[in-house]
Amino acid sequence: MKEKVIEMYRIPESVQKVLDLFIDQCNKELPGLLDGLYLHGSIAIDAYLEGQSDIDFVALTSRKLTNDDAAILKEIHCNLAEACKKPQVDGIYVQLSIHDEESYCYNEGTFEKATHNNPFTWWLLKNNGRTIFGPNAKDLPIHVTTEELTVYVRKNMNDYWVTRVMDMEKIKEQLMSYPVEVIETEMEWTVLGLLRQYYTLSEHSIISKLAAGEYGLCKLDPKWHGLIKEAINSRKGNPERIFATNEERVNATIHFAKELIHSCKEKRAVSLEGYRPEHLEELINYELTECQLTFTSHPKDALLVCETDKGRHPVVISEKGQTAGFFVLYQGEELTNYTDNPNSILLRAYSVAVPFQGKGIAGKSLELLPGYVERNFPHVDEVVLAVNLRNEAAQRVYLRSGFRDSGRKVLGRMGEQYVYELKLKEEIKV
């Protein structure tokens, strides 16, 4: 059996008891199968509630599970659920090299195959995961950017939550006749659930429902504070209530949900997203003028180079969900041609597609650039780019966005280029 490296965290005694039983059974029945075990979910964000929260895990396996392995694991989970009524264990079994492909998972008594391509899970595991044994969670070769996280959350808000609120509105009169406990549960789920999404879209991170409620009290209009406080009280088991009737609760919850969803839709008409395969069709049909193609690469050509050069990070500029622009962030050997700073990153192949020009998208995308770089490349303290001496329009855009002429020039495919720089972290002068 492989030796496991154990990392200790402040884990509730009830959780540790279940984990010990689970690991012991796996090692007895399937020795050598588990290469690592990690917790995400409520425990990872210090939001575990005794008697309410489940144990969410990711197990790394040393091999692809066979049908016999799956049958044994299912029996282990069933026995564990019988021995420990609370907390329940939910999790997925993956091989590290193909962690986002179809594999087995256990959830509420069901053990079946599923595809685990949820950025929420992988982002939380990578950034906040608790390592029970195996390689440290932060060192796992899992690559999920904050942009992928926010894209996923925004889609969830516009699909799941919009549909849920519409359904609530359709049966509003019926809802008001339900027991108070049912309405309070729905109110808590909706208000705090949406506030978690709001926090992620605003702060590019993940927090608990209770913490999201407190965030909402700090950030949102005071007219919603009563509703948020009642949702928090319900979550905590505090009997204090703000509203006197179900009618008030239902109406307030629906109005709150609709307004918050709308505000998130309008909040960022322009956004930066790491390239994903679903962008490919729009980028192939991406329209640039002959003049633009004189000074920059077409996205489809830039993407071909990105496939063979891991130092290139393609980025899509979206405007209200449509692909409006494109650029590549580069770190590699060529960087030394532009700067002596090893902590720089090179902006290249930048463009805005013809149908989106003249709308201020270039300026807005460059305004968002520092935040994108800081979130996805935390060691980088400077962005550099090269702009052709004849491309005066682009020079004006870059200079208005905070770039400065470094005084250096390089030779590009279309002649001499200025090298511009944008400092992300100003030096502190003593």
Q: Are residues 54 and 98 in the same domain?
A: yes
Beta-bridge partners for 385? 347, 420
Amino acid found at 210: L
Same structural domain for residues 294 and 232? no
Distance CA 340, CA 5 (A): 40
> Is 93:113 a contact under the CB 8 Å cutoff?
no
- Measure the CA–CA gap between 416 and 339, rounded to whole angstroms: 16
Structure tokens at 258: 């609709």
Query: Does residue 7 lie in a domain region?
Result: no
- In this structure, the answer to whether residues 263 and 290 fall within a common structural domain is no
Residue 198: other Cβ atoms inside 10 A: 22
Per-residue tens of pLDDT for the chain, all 430 residues: 344 444 445 788 889 999 999 999 999 999 999 999 999 988 888 888 887 788 899 999 999 899 999 999 999 999 888 888 788 888 999 987 766 677 889 887 888 888 777 888 888 998 889 999 999 998 888 877 776 788 788 888 888 999 999 999 999 999 889 999 999 999 999 999 999 999 998 888 899 999 999 999 999 999 999 999 999 999 998 999 999 999 999 999 999 999 999 888 754 578 899 999 989 999 999 999 888 888 999 999 999 999 999 899 999 999 888 899 999 999 999 999 999 999 999 999 999 999 988 777 888 899 899 989 988 898 999 999 999 999 988 898 899 888 999 999 998 888 899 999 999 865 433 3
CATH at residue 133: 3.30.460
Does residue 211 lie within any of the structural domains?
yes
Measured between its terminal Cα atoms, the distance across the chain in Å is 56
Choose the final residue of a domain: 214, 248, 267: 267
Around Cβ 100, how many Cβ atoms within 10 Å? 15
Of the candidates 80, 111, 139, which is a domain's last residue? 139
Pull the structure tokens for residue 345. 């990153």
Distance CA 107, CA 94 (A): 15
Residues 385, 404: Cα–Cα separation, whole Å: 10
- Does residue 55 share a domain with residue 24? yes
Query: Is residue 1 a part of any domain in this protein?
Result: no
Tokens 């090179």 label which residue? 346
89, 30: one domain: yes
Domain boundary among 122, 139, 156: 139
In a domain, 62, yes or no: yes
The verdict on residue 6 lying in a domain is no
Helix axes 246-267, 180-203, angle to 10 degrees: 20
CA 382 vs CA 326, 335, 365: distances in Å: 20, 12, 17
Q: Do 413 and 366 belong together in one domain?
A: yes
**Closest among 111, 2, 22 to 67, alpha carbons compared:** 111
Element (H, E) at 180: helix 180-203
The answer to whether residues 32 and 126 belong to one domain is: yes
Q: How many CB atoms lie within 10 A of CB 320?
A: 11
Say whether the peptide bond before residue 87 is cis (omega within 30 degrees of 0): yes
At which residue do the structure tokens 């303290």 appear? 381
Strands 89-94 and 55-61: parallel
Within a domain: 428: no
Structure tokens that stand for 220 in this block: 């949102």
90 found inside a domain? yes
Domain co-membership, 397 together with 335? yes
Alpha helices in 344-428 (DSSP H): 361-376, 392-400
Backbone phi, then psi, for 103, in 5-degree steps? -160, 180
On whether the CB atoms of residues 215 and 195 are closer than 8 A, the answer is: yes
Same-domain pairing of 129 and 89: yes
CATH code, domain with 350: 3.40.630.30
Residue at token pair 């540790």: 16
Question: How many domains are there within the chain?
Answer: 3
Closest CA to 196 of 140, 105, 257: 257
| Whether 248 contacts 176, CB under 8 Å | no
Are 374 and 348 in the same domain? yes
Q: What is the pLDDT, as a whole number, of residue 279?
A: 93
Range of the domain at 334: 270-423
195 and 99 together in one domain? no
pTM above 0.85, yes or no: no
